[in-house]
Amino acid sequence: MLEVLDPATDKVVGRVAKATRREVDAALDAASAAQPRWAATDAATRSETVAAIAEGLRAERTPLARLITMEQGKPLTESEAEVDYAASFFEVASRESLRLGDQGLEVDGKRVRVEHRPIGPTAAITPWNFPLAMLAKKTAAAIAVGCSQVVKPAEQTPLTAVRLGEIAVAAGVPRDVLHVVTGEPEEIGEALFQDVRLRKLSFTGSTEIGRLLLTKAAARVLPLSLELGGHAPLIVFDDANLEAAVELTMIAKFRNGGQTCVAPNRILVQSGIHDRYVDALAERADRLTSGHGFDAVDLGPVIDDAAASKIQHHIDDAIEHGGRVVVGGGRRTIPGLTDRFPEPTIILDTGPEMRCWREETFGPVCPIRRFDREIEAIELANRTPYGLAGYVSTSSEDLGRRVARALDCGIVGVNDPRPAIADVPFGGVKASGFGREGGRLGLDDYLVPVTVSEVR
Ligand code: NAD
């Protein structure tokens, strides 16, 4: 069995099976057998089933949120928001799956039809930072269009995934269509890659593991969707509304303690507003409270010791390279809890020579850099292998649009700290991966267009 720990206390909060190779194979057997039946189920039934999963999630909002907080650590209100966000993916998939429709045309006396068929048995591998939502994106789309799915959640947060599986079955998903397998990532990964019946793998996680999976997939030409790491820039222009710019930063940066793929990791602030922005942000960040996610705090623990050490290392490295810490810089000690509570930290005079500018910190750290010219900010913002999200803070519509167009990433928030919603595509460019989740395009990842041309 695998023990699941509360990252705030290190108490065991659950145990899940360590799936054996035979069990993973059995899940694939069942998913493969179920595939044609689920694909043949009429679209309206599938759509209703997916909508019923959304209802099931909303009905269990509080207990599910508690489960997320227990194994992942984020404050309860954020877990509740995650349940809502996850449910919205099922609602959108339910709606969009009814609009797929085949295309037909007559050309040169031939009758040609393009059918959008479910790609086949699929697999999903998901990270720990949003244990419910990252899985919901994949399961909602797969189930809605008629694919079976084998799911492997992160080993730190498997309990939420198991519960989602139960809710889906209660909502009407046949038992053999959706499988949650928990255990050792490498072993489960190997079993999935070696099974030629698997037709698609959707992965959300680090760029490092994504790259590894891409090489494995190449060997058998397995289609992948990769939602990988990010290193979002936030550009604050002189004409920004100060309060709104600070609010955007507080939400986008400190949500989930900075453990989000779309968190701003490089904050570029124009000279005219720089000092006022820093003062206002420092005042707000310093007031953030830390503690157990059940205790009405702003920040929970980070996921494990390695995460806490990496954050500290990034801060120390920035200081070594000339960064100036104006708030935080260390860890908070909270009686009775683990030492995984990095202080909200603001570092000035940061730049590309520092690790925090090159790697994801995945913590409550704001590296800030002053700039003068728009072009300089855009060049710095795009100088990264990543390309997931970016943010702009300005009161000029023209400037906002121009910079949004210039940013080399998949999602841009102009004065918007939460640009990701279930109705529209979410995903990155460059080393942040490929494939899209959300909206109509999110379903395409689980469909293959098949052309049937008839001569009569
Ligand atoms: P991770 O890459 O370490 O793990 C992700 C998943 O892959 C986990 O389920 C893990 O068990 C599994 N895994 C690890 N090694 C494997 C192997 N050899 N074979 C098969 N599976 C394996 O990432 P993490 O630490 O869980 O999550 C944080 C990362 O996820 C960050 O880089 C973050 O930016 C990224 N992320 C991206 C998005 C996005 O939508 N682009 C969303 C959330 C998180």
pLDDT at 387: 98
d(CA 208, CA 163): 28
Do residues 201 and 220 touch, judged by C-beta distance below 8 A? no
The CA distances from residue 322 to 180, 206, 266, 318, 354, in Å, are 47, 28, 16, 6, 9
Half-sphere exposure of 55 (CA within 13 A, CB side): 11
User: For 445, which DSSP code?
Assistant: T
The CA distances from residue 187 to 22, 135, 156, 228, in Å, are 11, 20, 16, 21
Whether 257 has a pLDDT exceeding 90, the answer reads yes
Count of beta carbons in the 10 Å neighbourhood of residue 135: 29
The pick from 16, 74, 89, 129 for probing ligand 1's pocket by mutation, whose C-beta has the most ligand atoms within 8 angstroms, reads: 129
The residue nearest atom 8 of ligand 1, judged by CA position, is 154
Query: What does the pLDDT average to over 55-64?
Result: 98
366 is catalytic: no
Query: What does the pLDDT average to over 130-147?
Result: 98
Residues sharing a CB contact under 8 Å with residue 79, sequence separation 6 or more, in sequence order: 64, 65, 66, 68, 69, 72, 293
Confidence of residue 101 (pLDDT cuts 50, 70, 90): confident
| pLDDT tens readout for residues 259-291 | 999 999 999 999 999 999 999 999 999 999 999
Residues sharing a CB contact under 8 Å with residue 39, sequence separation 6 or more, in sequence order: 117, 118, 146, 147
| pLDDT tens readout for residues 312-332 | 999 999 999 999 999 999 999
d(CA 165, CA 157): 14
Domains assigned to the chain: 2-228+429-455 (3.40.605.10), 232-414 (3.40.309.10)
Among 261, 356, 366, 409, the active-site one is 261
Query: What does the pLDDT average to over 180-184?
Result: 97
For ligand 1, whether the C-beta of 446 sits within 6 Å is: no
Percentages helix, strand, coil for the chain (3-state, rounded to 5) are: 45, 20, 35
Whether 456 has a pLDDT exceeding 90, the answer reads no
Distance 126 CA to ligand 1 centre (A): 6
Confidence of residue 395 (pLDDT cuts 50, 70, 90): very high
Mean pLDDT of the residues in the chain = 98
Please give the model's pTM, rounded to 2 decimal places.
0.98
Report which ligand 1 atom has the smallest distance to the Cα of 155: 11
For ligand 1, whether the C-beta of 183 sits within 6 Å is: no
| pLDDT tens readout for residues 108-132 | 999 999 999 999 999 999 999 999 9
Tokens of 360: 């994801």
Tokens of 349: 């005079």
For ligand 1, whether the C-beta of 225 sits within 6 Å is: no
Whether 87 has a pLDDT exceeding 90, the answer reads yes
For ligand 1, whether the C-beta of 133 sits within 6 Å is: no
Among 82, 91, 96, 227, the active-site one is 227
Query: What does the pLDDT average to over 7-27?
Result: 97
Half-sphere exposure of 315 (CA within 13 A, CB side): 24
The pick from 24, 125, 137, 186 for probing ligand 1's pocket by mutation, whose C-beta has the most ligand atoms within 8 angstroms, reads: 125
Residues sharing a CB contact under 8 Å with residue 213, sequence separation 6 or more, in sequence order: 125, 189, 201, 203, 224, 226
Distance 306 CA to ligand 1 centre (A): 15
Confidence of residue 58 (pLDDT cuts 50, 70, 90): very high
d(CA 248, CA 242): 10
Percent of the chain with pLDDT over 90: 99
Q: What are phi and psi of 94, to 5 degrees?
A: -60, -45
Query: What does the pLDDT average to over 135-141?
Result: 98
The residue nearest atom 32 of ligand 1, judged by CA position, is 206
Whether 102 has a pLDDT exceeding 90, the answer reads no
Do residues 372 and 280 touch, judged by C-beta distance below 8 A? no
For ligand 1, whether the C-beta of 156 sits within 6 Å is: no
Report which ligand 1 atom has the smallest distance to the Cα of 213: 19
360 is catalytic: no
For ligand 1, whether the C-beta of 303 sits within 6 Å is: no
pLDDT at 330: 98
Helix axes 76-96, 43-59, angle to 10 degrees: 170
